[in-house]
Amino acid sequence: MQKKIRVRFSPSPTGYFHIGSVRTALINYLYAKKYKGDFVLRIEDTDKERSKKEYEDDIIRSLDWLNLSWDEGLTEEGEKGNYAPYRQSERGDFYKKYIFRLLEEKKAYYCFCDKEKLKKSRERQREEGLPPRYDGNCFSLSDKERSDLLEKNADHVIRLHITEKESIEFDDMVRGRVKFMSEEIGGDFVIAKKDLSALYNFACVVDDYEMKITHILRGEDHLSNTPKQILMQRALGFDSPRYAHLSLILGPDKNKLSKRHAAVSTYQYREMGYLPEALLNFIVLLGWNPGDDREIYSLSEMIESFTVERCRKSGAIFDVNKLNFINSQYLKKKSEKEFVELCLPYLISSGLVEPSFKEDQYPPAYGGVQAKITYFLPQREISIDLTWIEMVVSLYKEKIKILSEISSEVDFFFKKELNYEKELLIWKKMTESEVVKSLDKSIEIMQSIRKWEKNYIEKALMEEAEKAGDRGSVLWPFRAALTGKKASAGPIDVALVLGPEETIKRLKNAKNKLI
């Protein structure tokens, strides 16, 4: 029977959950789901100085938001799975066990070399054009020398001893056969500090073994760690997992995507109003495609068509234009109900609407009774219900690319006074008095409308517009008066939502600007 596939995503909580991490997480997730394996979340917090709980929470929250569920590891409710703990900071005993074993078998040794001296020597080697490399000095310490130094509690680290010159090769699932020479990896490298706390590479190897990880899918920046990890696996007698090194996501300057490239944190994309499914869809297409022309994928469709073999080897630049396009595609697919729910937080945070609860009724969070929520428009000093807001934002469902655009598009619906220059009302070469006449006519028409429904408004207004010969001479001043904007939804839709009184009021205000 084939071993169950187990993959892991193992971020270190030293910064906010990054766009690059989204990709690594996604690909691990897809691989696990595709082959019915387990997806493990492990937190690599061996660096106590830089690791923060805040960042760990951010990892979990982001993964939740993205809907990338994991089978094992840390969750908001604690740990789940049979290989706990899933924080490396709590797995010290595992590491110690193997460190002692290596020490005993003389595959690892204590090194008392001065940190600063080594640093200088590395710099020197580099200047001379040589590969920086530890000379293995402390390997040849006699037992006496070593125990004396240990006795004195001298500063030290533990290094893995590289026994022979050899070629370390492995078959990378995306890159094919990769070779490194053992003497080129920088000499005997450090696996643990003085307090026996493991360093990344060592902790990683031990955990992957202990957690029975079968496939390691990670960024290309780890490629040069792989030979070190293989050497440790050999020293420890572990089987090596399969590796796949994914190309990196690049910034516009073609460097590895990083903080200096504007937004890289997942939460920032969430705040800007990108949908998680759109973000994942965009990211999966960076360096991977199914071989046909399809571009819009749900998570389950991705699982179905995903194969690591189709991952490209070269890095891909993060192009926000394409992301915007994909996001807009997903936004269009939302129902009007879903769309208004998504827009609401943006309208609230920009101060356009305030949710309020009717007396004697409580929001669901306070008792589960379906509460009637009304919304107060502070600028117009009126209360409306969700249906009205839904009408407003629905006019823009097909137009916006990211949710945060909604407030500045619809703000005129929520304002009492519109601030615009009177020139905005003028259509092409019309004179001010012609515009006033046009507005007068529109007011008259609006007042005469019997039923405030779209086809009545449309019929009356378009009739007049046709009569004028130049449709814009009627429609442009009309729309500008209602919106105060150069660009907006169509005039008839706007009037319909605004209602007769407000429509007429705005037309009159516009007229007053010109006289």
Q: How many CA atoms lie within 13 A of 160 on its CB side?
A: 26
| Tokens standing for residue 353 | 């609407």
Strands (E), 332-372: 354-357
All residues at 6 or more sequence positions from 168 whose CB lies less than 8 Å from its CB, including other chains: 179, 180, 181, 182, 227, 230, 231
Task: Tell me the backbone φ, ψ of residue 376, rounded to 5 degrees.
Answer: -100, 135
**In the complex with RNA, which residue's Cβ is closer, 223 or 236?**
223
The one-letter amino acid at 464: E
**In the complex with RNA, which residue's Cβ is closer, 259 or 313?**
313
499-to-304, 393, 447 alpha-carbon distances in Å: 49, 16, 11
CB of 157 to RNA, least distance (A): 5
CB of 473 to RNA, least distance (A): 9
**In the complex with RNA, which residue's Cβ is closer, 45 or 411?**
45
| Tokens standing for residue 333 | 């697919």
CB of 125 to RNA, least distance (A): 8
CB of 347 to RNA, least distance (A): 19
**In the complex with RNA, which residue's Cβ is closer, 107 or 322?**
322
CB 230 within 8 A of CB 185: no
**In the complex with RNA, which residue's Cβ is closer, 139 or 376?**
139
- What is the DSSP annotation of 242-296? EEEEEPPEE-TTSSBP-TTSS--BHHHHHHHT--HHHHHHHHHTSSB--SSS---
Nearest to 294 by CA among 281, 277, 283, 307: 281
CB of 8 to RNA, least distance (A): 12
Q: At what angle do helices 53-66 and 19-34 cross, to 10 degrees?
A: 50
- What is the DSSP annotation of 25-55? HHHHHHHHHHTT-EEEE-B----TTT--HHH
**In the complex with RNA, which residue's Cβ is closer, 61 or 399?**
399
CB of 379 to RNA, least distance (A): 23
**In the complex with RNA, which residue's Cβ is closer, 214 or 328?**
328
SS3 content of the chain, % helix, strand, coil (to 5): 50, 15, 35
CB of 443 to RNA, least distance (A): 17
**In the complex with RNA, which residue's Cβ is closer, 214 or 229?**
229
CB of 60 to RNA, least distance (A): 16
